[in-house]
Amino acid sequence: MDVVLDQLNAPREVRIVARVLGWPFRWLGYEGDPGLPPVTRAITALGPSYIKLGQILSTRPDFVGGDLALQLRVLQDKLPPFPTDQAREMIERDLEIPVDRLFSEFSEPVAAASIAQVHQARLASDHRKVAVKVLRPGIAKAFSKDIDAFYLGARVLEMLSPAARRLRPMDVIAHFDETVQQELDLRTEAAAAGEFKANTARDEGFTVPGVEWTLSGRAVMTLDWAEGVQMADLEAMDAAGVDRAALADRVLQMFLRHALRDGYFHADMHQGNLKVAPSGDIIALDFGIMGRLDEYTRRVYAQILMGFIRKDYRRVAELHFEAGYVPADRDVDLFAQALRSVGEPIFGMDASRISMGRLLAYLFEVTERFGMETRTELLLLQRTMVVVEGVARTLNPHMNIWEAARPEVERYIRENLGPQAAVRDLYRTAQVLSRFGPHLPEAVDAALKRRVQAEPSRADGSRWIGPAWFLAGVAATGMGAAIAHWAGV
């Protein structure tokens, strides 16, 4: 604990609280695996939810230090496994077929993380090599305990710190709870892997293993085996002649492409879930946590990134106000000035010269000053950005984040915010109007009748039928039909 607190330069109050909260674990003798380094041992002892936090920190040597980040990488896929016999029992219980009938070979665990472990196997049918992922026994109960503790902590935080309420701690924990529940059902992960593979099928230099659907269930998932070097193994990549600078750019660009183009992205892209194939392709693994963005959010996100790249801080500020990220009663010019103070010191600078610790601390100050609340719909995106940037910086400490991001952001804006996008939006509007077009006359007629009944009689005995309603209905019906005809709907 002292190592982590010293590395993060934690204030005295935080140190006191951490020691008080850590005292019961010492008293109970909850020491974790003695074969692991002290910090890693402490995190594994606390439970699977804390391991998730450790995995994120392991991608940020610039934040926690190189030595500590290296220790924490154990949490990505090298945790103590559970017995293979137990894994075989879970497979047979879930798939209701003996393991020996499914697989001609079934290895000891080749990787073990907080939620599941992976075995290498060969299919009995065609002897093809596959990866078999099996949930840890009792993992749902362990996560439930962690989540209950988090809810309690969030409630206490909201009660004792009014200033923290803008962070919406209860909503954050609820969002985390929902994400975890998806991870605990491997049928959901198999579906995510299938969708992600379909979305990225044409992405050169990026590979997603295929799912063996007949050998996947709630507690078991079987994927094609992907041969490659773990992205955490820098020495092995160097020995294989991998261009780490180009790979760092591609990791960041692929994340942006999937988030912006598809609105569906891998939200757990630490090194333990990434391999480099002999061909140089990035291989993505573990699809338990996936993120989605609606089209409006993608457009705002892309324009914000482009604003920073072009140093148009005024436009970036306006976008935050338009999207509702900043309360409308705040000053847009002051917010633009604050954004400039964030962007200018890091723009054009290579990653090794940027202190993420100081930057994140200042960003927190800015959000507090302008009353910005936590947006739960953006949590996975923000978390993944931190992880992906950390992975990229580990591969190439001197990369320029903005220059690497520019091609994908420009491509998205060119395809989705120009004249072509306007025509496409008009076409989609026409499709919607054409579906509801047959109902519009009835809807307008009903509205007019309600209006007539509600309005008092005029002096000449007639009633005011609301020409605005009438014109709106006619315009909507006619425009919808015209556009639909023009668009070929």
pLDDT digits (tens, 9 = 90+) for 8-44: 555 554 455 455 445 444 443 444 556 666 777 777 7
153 shares a domain with 54: no
Digit-coded pLDDT (tens) for 305-333: 888 888 899 998 999 899 888 889 999 99
208-to-100, 133, 201, 202, 286 alpha-carbon distances in Å: 27, 15, 8, 11, 10
Report the DSSP beta bridge partners of residue 122.
105, 129
d(CA 37, CA 17): 23
Q: How confident is the model at residue 252 (pLDDT cuts 50, 70, 90)?
A: very high
| Highest mean pLDDT (candidates 302-316, 416-430, 447-461, 470-484) | 302-316
User: What pLDDT sits at residue 307?
Assistant: 87
Q: What are phi and psi of 462, to 5 degrees?
A: -85, 170
Closest CA to 374 of 170, 162, 147: 170
**Cβ–Cβ under 8 Å, residues 315 and 336:** no
482 shares a domain with 441: yes
d(CA 222, CA 215): 6
437 shares a domain with 288: no
355 shares a domain with 239: yes
Number of domains present in the structure of the chain: 4
Last residue of a domain, one of 180, 211, 235: 180
Higher-pLDDT residue of 349 and 17 is 349
Q: What are phi and psi of 8, to 5 degrees?
A: -85, 0
Residue 433 lies in a domain: yes
User: What pLDDT sits at residue 248?
Assistant: 94
Report the DSSP beta bridge partners of residue 264.
292
383 shares a domain with 239: yes
- Burial of residue 222 (number of CB atoms within 10 Å: 0-12, 13-18, 19+): buried
User: What pLDDT sits at residue 474?
Assistant: 42
**Range with lowest mean pLDDT among 3-12, 45-54, 149-158:** 3-12
Higher-pLDDT residue of 487 and 267 is 267
Residue 164 lies in a domain: yes
User: What pLDDT sits at residue 464?
Assistant: 45
Q: How confident is the model at residue 468 (pLDDT cuts 50, 70, 90)?
A: very low
Q: Is the pLDDT score of 250 beyond 90? A: yes
User: What pLDDT sits at residue 142?
Assistant: 84
d(CA 235, CA 237): 5
**Residue among 62, 268, 329, 333 flagged as catalytic:** 268
- What sign has the CA pseudo-torsion 68, 398, 275, 242? negative
d(CA 249, CA 392): 7
Higher-pLDDT residue of 470 and 404 is 404
Average pLDDT, the chain: 79
Residue 286 lies in a domain: yes
Last residue of a domain, one of 417, 438, 473: 417
341 shares a domain with 275: yes
User: What pLDDT sits at residue 463?
Assistant: 47
User: What pLDDT sits at residue 55?
Assistant: 74
For residue 269, the enclosing domain spans: 227-417
Q: Please, what is the end-to-end C-alpha distance for the chain in angstroms?
A: 64
Residue 219 lies in a domain: no
- What sign has the CA pseudo-torsion 376, 378, 383, 384? positive
Q: How confident is the model at residue 350 (pLDDT cuts 50, 70, 90)?
A: low
481 shares a domain with 398: no
476 shares a domain with 387: no
Is 281 among the catalytic positions?
Answer: no
- What sign has the CA pseudo-torsion 317, 318, 319, 323? positive
Residue 196 lies in a domain: no
282 shares a domain with 373: yes
Digit-coded pLDDT (tens) for 361-410: 666 677 778 888 777 777 788 888 888 888 998 899 888 888 888 899 88
238 shares a domain with 386: yes
User: What pLDDT sits at residue 186?
Assistant: 94
Q: Is the pLDDT score of 487 beyond 50? A: no
32: left (phi over 0), alpha (psi -120 to 50) or beta: left
């078999």: which residue's tokens?
A: 132
Instruction: Give 89's Cβ-side CA count (13 Å radius).
Output: 7
Residue 381 lies in a domain: yes
Q: How confident is the model at residue 172 (pLDDT cuts 50, 70, 90)?
A: confident
Residue 133 lies in a domain: no
Spatial CB neighbours of 107, under 8 Å, sequence gap ≥ 6: 119, 120, 121
Report the DSSP beta bridge partners of residue 282.
206, 276
156 shares a domain with 278: no
Digit-coded pLDDT (tens) for 71-122: 777 777 778 899 999 999 999 999 999 999 999 999 999 988 888 999 999 9
Digit-coded pLDDT (tens) for 189-233: 999 999 999 999 999 999 999 999 999 999 999 999 999 999 989
Last residue of a domain, one of 148, 180, 212: 180
359 shares a domain with 389: yes
Residue 281 lies in a domain: yes
**Cβ–Cβ under 8 Å, residues 162 and 203:** no
303-to-403, 410, 423 alpha-carbon distances in Å: 15, 9, 19
Which amino acid belongs to residue 226?
A
